[in-house]
Amino acid sequence: MDLMFWLALASKIVVTAGFVLVAVWATARAGSLIGALVATLPISAAPAYAFVALDHDAAFLAASALASLSINAANMIFCLVYALVAQTRGLALSLSTALGLWAGLSVMLQSVEWTLSGAVVLNIAVCLVCLSIGRRLRHAVMPPTSGRWYDLPIRAGMVAVLVGAIVMLSPHVGPTVTGTLALFPIVLTSLILIFHRRVGGPATATLMANAIPGLAGYGVALLVLHLAVTVVATPAALLLALAVSVGWNAAILGLRRGVAQPEVPPGPTARSSQP
């Protein structure tokens, strides 16, 4: 690979890392609802898709968005499973259980030839189940916490590495694997790694439970990208999908603040050290 390729790849990673630094700075200083809504913006997927669009045509992006739409259902399950296990278990077991299930579901979902209607129905069904089960987990208090100096570089680095991997692999693995990698829950995982030990499992579970409605909007944005990228110019389709995601989360914030449900203090397992 020539020097220009590596310079382009490095610039893509730096741009992504800078974007993530801004986003997670806001997340670390917000409550669970705002933090979850920030975390479910396309912090890693949007740059990944933007960079993949430089090397692939609209049909490739449309197929990748369809694959991502099916994987979005696995991301909602990831959030719910972590939130349930973290009520009584420590970081290692909670996160490994959620990631292991995500990996298994992703392999299974990739083996299916998804139609658009099938992927939409899957997301709606999974979202309704996850919202119903996770509703009771959304209101534990996430105490204010000051970040350590290495928190933001670690999280930005994790996302930047993922974007770099997607850019390098996409010419070789096709749209389905590209779409799957783009939806790997790297931002959610990084938040779990930071907050679980600092504020406890139940409080971090609140962040993940609040992320489920945001991921529903993520799915709508992917649907818009899949439909729009073959109709309008690729940059316009990407911006439209981003606007849908931002608008969805802003609407959730407005609705939830209007309801103004009180938060419940975390129980005695908030700092569980069980394995």
Q: For 95-120, what is each residue's pLDDT tens digit? A: 999 999 999 999 999 889 999 999 99
> Which residues make Cβ contacts (< 8 Å) with residue 236, sequence separation at least 6?
228
Task: Over range 194-211, report the average pLDDT.
Answer: 89
Residue 176 clears pLDDT 60, i.e. is over it:
yes
- Top pLDDT among 193 and 237 is at 237
Residue 191 confidence (pLDDT): 82
Q: In whole angstroms, what separates CA 240 from the centre of its chain?
A: 18
Contact indicator for 162, 44 with CB cutoff of 8 Å: yes
Measured over the CA atoms of residue 245, residue 71, residue 43 and residue 51, the dihedral's sign is negative
Q: Give the integer Cα–Cα distance in Å for 103 and 149.
A: 31
pLDDT value of residue 266: 45
Helix 45-53 with 234-259: angle, nearest 10 deg: 170
Q: What six digits make up the tokens of 127? A: 């979202």
**Does the pLDDT at position 225 exceed 80?**
yes
Distance, in Å, from the CA atom of 191 to the CA atom of 61, rounded to the nearest integer, reads: 28
Quick check: 157 pLDDT over 90? no
Contact 211, 184 (CB under 8 A): no
Q: Which residues contact 275 (CB under 8 A, 6 or more apart)?
A: 89, 90, 92, 93
pLDDT of residue 265: 47
Mark out the alpha helices in the chain (DSSP H runs): 3-28, 32-39, 45-53, 58-85, 91-110, 116-134, 151-182, 186-199, 201-228, 234-259
Q: Is the pLDDT of residue 75 over 50?
A: yes
- What percent of the chain is modeled with pLDDT above 70? 77
pTM of the model: 0.82
